[in-house]
């Protein structure tokens, strides 16, 4: 898996780098299609969920017919203890991105209280089970809407999994 973090791109933009050159920055680290099976992306800050750089990255993975894994994702800069803000600013856009991007085939959500680490204390508490409203929203997105969540499809066997991941005929 080749992996990229749009949060680093947003840091570049805050330093004055133009968003238009985001692809040039991540492409300089791309080893080439022959060396990659999956593309990965890490999503932390709310702006990364809707940034042009993220959308461009996902579109390029789709153009090259690579499945995408959200390799690392966690609520950053908010807290589940303010459930409506957490849902509105992060969880709803996150699940919207998952539903709206056909190439996303796997996700990893880091369910952690970042406040216990000094270097990540400002990331907040991302444990979905810490707030009933957030937990119910998360469950509704993951468990109760299989018809509306095609990205949640999985395979019962290797052939079905390869088909779901669009690995046959690539």
What is the mean pLDDT of the segment spanning 72-99? Answer: 94
Residue 130 tokens, joined? 């810490």
Give per-residue pLDDT as tens, 21-44: 777 778 888 999 999 999 999 999
Residue with the bigger pLDDT between 166 and 81: it is 81
CATH topology of domain 2-164: TIM Barrel (3.20.20)
Residue with the bigger pLDDT between 17 and 74: it is 74
Torsion sign over Cα 9, 10, 11, 13: positive
Residue with the bigger pLDDT between 78 and 33: it is 33
pLDDT higher than 60, residue 151: no
Percent of the chain predicted with pLDDT > 90:
52
Going from N- to C-terminal start, the domains of the chain cover 2-164
pLDDT higher than 70, residue 57: yes
Query: Is pTM, for the whole model, over 0.85?
Result: no
pLDDT higher than 90, residue 62: yes
What is the mean pLDDT of the segment spanning 153-167? Answer: 59
């Amino acid at each position: 898996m080749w992996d990229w973090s749009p949060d680093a791109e947003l840091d570049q933009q805050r330093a004055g780098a133009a968003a238009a050159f985001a692809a040039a920055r991540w492409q300089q680290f791309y080893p080439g299609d022959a060396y990659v099976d999956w593309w990965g992306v890490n999503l932390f800050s709310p702006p990364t969920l809707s940034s042009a750089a993220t959308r461009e990255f996902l579109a390029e993975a789709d153009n090259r017919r690579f499945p995408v894994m959200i390799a690392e994702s966690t609520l950053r800069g908010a807290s589940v203890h303010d459930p409506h803000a957490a849902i509105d600013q992060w969880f709803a856009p996150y699940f919207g991105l998952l539903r709206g991007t056909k190439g996303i085939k796997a996700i990893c959500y880091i369910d952690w209280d970042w406040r216990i680490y000094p270097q990540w204390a400002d990331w907040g508490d991302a444990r979905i089970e810490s707030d009933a409203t957030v937990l119910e929203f998360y469950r509704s997105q993951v468990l109760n809407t299989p018809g509306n969540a095609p990205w949640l499809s999985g395979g019962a066997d290797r052939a079905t999994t390869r088909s779901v991941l669009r690995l046959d005929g690539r």
